Amino acid sequence: MQHSQAHTPNISSAHSRSFWGLLAALLAILVLASACSLIERETNTVASQDAIVAEAAELEPGDVPVKALAALHDTWTILKNEFVLRDELDAAVLADGAVKSLILATGIPELRNRSSFPEASLERPDEVPKELEPIWDAWAGVFQEYNTIEAPLDPIDLSQAIIRGLIDALDDPHTAYISPERYALEELDFTGEYQGIGSEVHNQRGRFILSPMPNSPAEQAGIRPGDLLMAVDGVSVEGWSILEVVQTIRGARDTEVVLGIIHLGQEQVVDITIKRGDIDLTSVFWNMTSDGFAYLNLRAFNSNSDESLIETIAEINKQGARGIILDIRNNPGGLLTTVVTIASQFLDGGVVVYEIDGEGNRKDWDVESNGVAQDIPLVVLVNQFSASASEVLSGALQDRDRALIVGNTTFGKGSVNRLKPLSDGGGLYYTYGRWYTPEGRLIEGLGLEPDVVVPQGIQIQGDPQLEKAIELLEEAVSALER
């Protein structure tokens, strides 16, 4: 493959870094929220509610269901052994959250005013972990005193409430309980074609932020990057997990969903009706500027984005581009393997990103060989909606002095997540690792600061970030050409 300017130093090479450092100082920073929100998933092959339902059907007043709490035991075991911050788990706090959720879910006013639970006469099963004993005691006491023929308690609903209460007390935005119904939908989604509204959803400190794909049903209906989601089909999303939001919004082609949203910078909730459709996953777009630069817009890190980008760079080189402006603004992220391959096109050796799990074990994702754009001058555009894989890419290029990063602070999503089945047919979506840039910067909750901060501005007033990128790239390339 032919490369233009094969021997030209890159825009942030070691000998030119002082120039960029001075320029950044004189002129003056999203990592989903996700360093890569990589989800590892296990199929639920053994879980079922049948045993729980059968046990509940045989309950007499005063009986205590046991099997309904198996999923709680699963949840605690997973968190204790695999959660990224498992050494910081406070079992007492989690148990308190679970018990409070149980009280609310019963709907029994008397329970809310009691200072203690009825004492259960049933001996705890041997398999109840010590940390869960307060939950078992509350569970058994409630069923023995309040489960009647006239007002039967539902062990399935209450067990799910307990799990959600425990997870809420965990205070991790990327950990959630998935009901059996939604877990089944997840399994279907992995085998079907991509249909829906065409928008990513991010959990930003308990608020759900939308990022529509270009030319998607969501964008065509009026959804804008940064819109705050308030309701789906008239139902408030307060207290929902991000997977509950995603699954509720998704749907088959030609069906409709109504989203209640607040546009960025406004206060009023607006209802927008969106007709679901097939989603175009094309992620790489580019054109040549009048200055001889290639403007390359990377909109997602899909399974074919790396191949498309490599083909695009080959064409860019053929046309003799003087430099590249890589725009990953509003890019919500995607696949880890894809971002590693894409970053490797611009880097020569080293690490793209590394992961640390709850035990402190480190796993490196190294640069792949034979990158096709290791020398061409490069500026990267980011904003507050650049997340996950976008932050991995910009962090690697920034730490390796390979590119100048321009725009706003990125989103701050740097968690690695797993989805595991539970005994009730549902699942636990939880955080088991964090992503770090090559120089050890944590992405999760912080985001990455650009080298040059430029407010995004209003689109009708032009694109100040792009204009600044062209200006800086011109200065750098001109200096190298002299």
Label residues 171-196 b or e (16+ Cβ within 10 Å = b).
Answer: ebbbbbbbbbebbebbeeeeeeeebb
Domain CATH for 231: 2.30.42.10
Active-site residue 363, yes or no?
no
For residue 367, being part of any structural domain is answered with yes
> Of 278, 304, 326, which residue constitutes the final position of a domain?
278
| Residue bearing the bigger pLDDT, 39 or 417 | 417
What residues contact residue 156 under an 8 Å CB cut-off, 6+ apart? Answer: 49, 52, 53, 56, 68, 424
Q: Are residues 62 and 140 in the same domain?
A: yes
Q: Are residues 155 and 207 in the same domain?
A: no
Helix (H) or strand (E) holding 416: strand 415-421
* pLDDT (average), residues 63-81: 90
Please state the domain count of the chain. 3
For residue 395, being part of any structural domain is answered with yes
Given a contact cutoff of 8 angstroms between Cβ atoms, the answer to whether 181 and 188 are in contact is no
pTM recorded for the entire structure: 0.70
Say whether pLDDT at 140 is over 60.
yes
φ, ψ of residue 420 to 5 degrees: the values are -120, 145
- Of 185-194, 229-238, 299-308, the range with the lowest mean pLDDT is 185-194
Domain CATH for 349: 3.90.226.10
Burial class (CB in 10 A: 0-12, 13-18, 19+), 113: exposed
| Residue bearing the bigger pLDDT, 179 or 367 | 367
Q: Which of 227, 306, 399, 424 is catalytic?
A: 399
Q: Are residues 162 and 234 in the same domain?
A: no
The full DSSP string for 159-215 is: HHHHHHHHHHHHT-TT-EEE-HHHHHHHHHHTTS--EE--EEEEEETTEEEEEEPTT
pLDDT in the model for residue 421: 92
> Which of 111-115, 276-280, 418-422, 468-472 has the largest mean confidence?
468-472
Active-site residue 211, yes or no?
no
403, two tokens: 């590119």
Residue 33 carries which DSSP code? B
Q: What type of residue sits at position 102? A: L
For residue 439, being part of any structural domain is answered with yes
Q: Are residues 386 and 311 in the same domain?
A: yes
Residue 401 carries which DSSP code? T
Q: What rounded mean pLDDT belongs to the chain?
A: 83
Q: Are residues 315 and 269 in the same domain?
A: no
For residue 181, being part of any structural domain is answered with no
* pLDDT (average), residues 258-282: 92
Say whether pLDDT at 139 is over 60.
yes
For residue 109, being part of any structural domain is answered with yes
Say whether pLDDT at 365 is over 90.
yes
Residue range 420-459, pLDDT digits in tens: 999 998 999 999 999 999 999 999 999 999 999 998 765 5
Q: Which of 388, 390, 394, 415 is catalytic?
A: 388
> Of 263, 278, 293, which residue constitutes the final position of a domain?
278
Q: Are residues 162 and 259 in the same domain?
A: no
For residue 3, being part of any structural domain is answered with no
442, two tokens: 């944590």
Model confidence band, residue 49 (pLDDT cutoffs 50, 70, 90): low
Q: Are residues 426 and 317 in the same domain?
A: yes
pLDDT in the model for residue 25: 23
Q: Are residues 326 and 444 in the same domain?
A: yes
Residue 304 CA to residue 283 CA, distance in Å, equals 8
pLDDT in the model for residue 197: 94
Q: Are residues 30 and 53 in the same domain?
A: no
Model confidence band, residue 29 (pLDDT cutoffs 50, 70, 90): very low
Please state whether beta strands 228-232 and 235-236 pair in parallel, antiparallel, or not at all (unpaired).
antiparallel
Say whether pLDDT at 18 is over 90.
no
Q: Are residues 314 and 453 in the same domain?
A: yes
> Of 219, 251, 278, which residue constitutes the final position of a domain?
278
Torsion of CA 362, 414, 437, 311, to 10 degrees: 110
* pLDDT (average), residues 315-319: 94
Look up the domain containing 326 and give its range. 14-37+281-481
Active-site residue 318, yes or no?
no
Q: Are residues 298 and 415 in the same domain?
A: yes
* pLDDT (average), residues 410-420: 89
Q: Which of 67, 413, 420, 468 is catalytic?
A: 413
**Cα separation values, 368 from 9, 356, 379, Å:** 20, 20, 21
Write the secondary structure of 220-275 as one string of H (helix), E (strand) and C (coil): HHCCCCCCEEEEECCEECCCCCHHHHHHHHCCCCCCEEEEEEECCCCCCCEEEEEE
Spacing of C-alpha 379 from chain mean position: 25
Given a contact cutoff of 8 angstroms between Cβ atoms, the answer to whether 386 and 394 are in contact is yes
Please state whether beta strands 323-327 and 378-382 pair in parallel, antiparallel, or not at all (unpaired).
parallel
For residue 300, being part of any structural domain is answered with yes
Q: Are residues 270 and 310 in the same domain?
A: no
For residue 42, being part of any structural domain is answered with no
Residue range 118-137, pLDDT digits in tens: 666 677 887 889 999 999 99
pLDDT in the model for residue 370: 93
